[in-house]
Chains A and B, each alone.
Chain A
Amino acid sequence: MNRPQNQVNKRDEKFADRTVTKIWDEEPDPENSYLARHCRCHGYDIIELAQKRSFVDVLFLLFQGELPNPAQARLLETLMIVLINPGPRHPATRAAMNASVSKTNSAHLLPIALSVLSGTHLGAEEVVAAMRFLQKRSEENPLKVATELLENPGPPEGDWHIAPGFGSRFGGIDPLPREAADLLIALPGHGKTLQWGDNFAEEIGQMNLGWLSTGLAAAVFCDLGFHRLAGAGLFQLLCAPGLLAHGLELADKPITDMPFLDEIHYVITKEAKKR
C-alpha cells in the first residue's frame, strides 16, 4: 500500500515585525521602556479624558476612533442602562448564580455568564446576525420583508425568531424591548435602522412577534456606526454588570440558598436507566 508523501514546506508569508494598533499609543517612560509614561486613546491622553469626558464617551471613542456627539452619547448610554441586567431568570444570569453559590473562583463568574450569553438565541451571536439582517434589509419596505419572512413556517414548538433579533419570547412579545425601543426612538441620536426595526416589529406584531433585546442592541449599534463584529462583544459588555451583580449576590452563601431539585422533580426517562 502506498503511503501518502506529505511534504511540509513553510509558506513564504511576510509577517508584521511588530504588533499594529491604531487605538492606543503608549509613550515609554524615560527610565523604563516597559512602562508607559503616557497613554493616548486615539490621540487623547487617558488622564485628560478621565478629567473631562464620561465613561460612555470614552467607550465610544475606543471603538470608533472619535468622540461621540451628545446625541450619540445619550443613545448609547440609554441602551447601556436598558441592557445592564438580563435579570435573574435569564440563563446567563443563572449560570453566574449557579457558579457563585457552588464556590466557583469569583474571577470566573463573568466569563461563565458571558459564555452562556454568547449564543445564537438572545446572545451575542444573534446580535451580529441581527446587525447583518438590518444592514442587508433595512433599505427595503418593512411590510414587504415581514410578509416574505412570515411565509416561512415557524418552528413546531418553542419561540420563533422570524429574523435575528426579532421574534417571540416564551410565546409572546417581550414588553421590555418594546418599551425600550419607544424610549430610544424618542432620542435625537436614533437613526434609520432603529426606525426601520420599529416599523418591522410593528408589522410582525400581528403574529405575536416583536423586538428582542438582541435586535434592539443591533439596531442601536448600527445607528451609531459600530462594526458588525463589535456587536457580539459590545452586547456582552453591556449586559455584564447585571450578570456579575447577581453572581456576587450569592457568593459565600450556602449551596442550600439555591434550589436543588429532588428526585421527584428530576425526571430520568426509562430509556436512560440501566439497560
Chain B
Amino acid sequence: MSLQKKQKKDDTSFWDKRRGKIHTAKGGWIIGEAVYNQGYSMLDDLVGKKTFFQVLMLNATGRLPDKRLAEWLEALFVCLSWPDARIWCNQIGSLAGTMNSTPVAAVSAGILAADSRMYGPGTQTIGASFILEALRKKNIGKTAETIVEEFSQTCQGAVPTIPGFVRPLTRGDERVIAIDQVTEKLGFARGPHLDLAFEIEKVMLKKYQEGINLLGYSAAFLCDQALTARQQYRVVSAMVNSGVHACYAEAADNPPESFFPFQCKDINFQGHAPRPVPKKKLKK
C-alpha cells in the first residue's frame, strides 16, 4: 500500500473564490443608504431603540434578544465590575495606569488577562460545556451525585475542580445571590440547566463544602437561554472591562510608579548566586 501521490498542482479553488472580496452575512455600510446589521438598519432600527447589550448579543450571536435578557447580561457585567486592585486583571489596569499607558491599552490588557483558565470570560466555555454535558447525563438517568462522582474521577485533587463550582480565594460566591435576584426580578423561570446546577451545588456543598459560583450560575442560565458555549464566550468576552477601568483611573490619576511600588528586597530571588560570565570560545 502506498500513499496517494501528491497532486501536481494544489487545488486553491476555495481561496480563489474568496480572493479580492469580503463575503459577509453580518452586514455593513452602504454609503448614503444605510448601515445594515443582520436584517436591521443600525440607524433606523437599533440606535435609540435597542440597548447596547441587545446589539452586543445581536452582533455576537446573530440573534437580537428581548430587552430583559440584555438587561440580565448587563447585570452579569456589573457583577464582574469590582474595583479591587488585587484581582489579577484589575491589577494589570493599575500597573498600566501607573505607567501612564492609555486607557485603551490598560483595559485591553485587563480583558486579555481575564482570558484565563481560572476566572473571567476564559472559563465560560468550560463552564457551559460542563453543564451541557451534565444535563445530557441527567437526561439519560444519572443523578447529580453520579455526575459529580464521575467528574471527580478525572481530577487529581481532594476537591473536584468542577468548572463553576470551585472559586479561587473563597468558598461561596455572593454574586450568585445578587444575579439570582436579577433573574427573578426580570421574570425568568429556572430552566433545566440552572435547576441541575443547583442540584450539583447541593452535592458539592455536602461532600466538599464548595458552592456554585458566578460562572456556574451564568453558564447554566445562558444555556437555558439557548446560547451555545461558543456564543457565551463571545458575549461575555469584555465583562471585566469596567473594574479594570476603575483601577486604571485611580493609578493614572496619581504620580507615575506610585502604585504598589517594590523595593529590590521585595522580590525573593531564589536563583543562581552571582558568577562571572565565561569567555566566549574562539571560532576555529
Contact = CB atoms under 8 A, between A and B. Distances in A.
A111 B109 contact: yes
Interface size bucket, B side? 35 or more
B119 interface: yes
Contact of A159 (B12, B116, B255): B255
B95 A94 contact: yes
A144 interface: no
Contacts of B98: 91, 121
Contacts of B88: 98-99, 101-102, 104
Interface in B83-102: 84-86, 88-89, 91-92, 95-96, 98-102
Interface stretch (B201-209, B226-234, B262-270): B262-270
A91 B257 contact: yes
Contact of A121 (B100, B106, B114): B100
B169 interface: yes
8 contacts: A10-B31, A89-B261, A89-B264, A102-B113, A104-B113, A116-B101, A117-B99, A122-B257
Question: Which label, helix, strand, loop or mixed, suits the secondary structure of the A interface?
Answer: loop
Contact of B262 (A89, A157, A159, A255): A89
A106 B92 CA distance: 15
B92 A112 contact: yes
A153 to B, nearest CB: 14
B100 A123 contact: yes
A102 B109 contact: no
Interface string A100-135: 011111001001100111111111010000000000
B86 A261 contact: yes
Interface stretch (A31-39, A53-61, A178-186, A198-206): A31-39
A15 interface: no
A9 interface: yes
Interface of A: 7-10, 31-35, 88-89, 91-92, 94-95, 98-99, 101-105, 108, 111-112, 115-123, 125, 155, 157-159, 169-170, 255, 260-261, 266
Given A89-B266, A99-B88, 8 more contacts: A34-B15, A99-B113, A103-B122, A104-B115, A105-B116, A111-B108, A115-B108, A118-B102
B118 interface: yes
Contacts of B136: none
A32 B115 CA distance: 37
Interface in B158-183: 168-169
Contacts of B9: 31-32
Nearest to A261: B86
A112 B112 contact: yes
B186 interface: no
B117 interface: yes
A105 B122 contact: yes
Given A89-B262, A158-B256, A260-B169, A108 B115 contact: yes
A103 B116 contact: yes
Contact of B112 (A94, A111, A255): A111
A99 B264 CA distance: 21
A34 B12 contact: yes
Question: Which label, helix, strand, loop or mixed, suits the secondary structure of the B interface?
Answer: loop
B46 interface: no
A104 B100 contact: no
A102 B116 contact: yes
B277 to A, nearest CB: 11
A77 to B, nearest CB: 13
Contacts of A88: 267
Contact of A123 (B84, B99, B168): B99
Contacts of B116: 99, 102-105
Interface string B7-20: 01110100100000
B51 interface: no
A119 to B, nearest CB: 4
Nearest to A156: B255
Contact of A98 (B31, B92, B261, B267): B92
B106 to A, nearest CB: 7
A272 to B, nearest CB: 8
B253 to A, nearest CB: 12
Contacts of B105: 115-116, 118-119
B257 A170 contact: yes
B115 A115 contact: no
A92 B167 CA distance: 27
B141 interface: no
Contacts of A123: 99-101
B261 A118 contact: no
A169 B102 CA distance: 21
B166 to A, nearest CB: 13
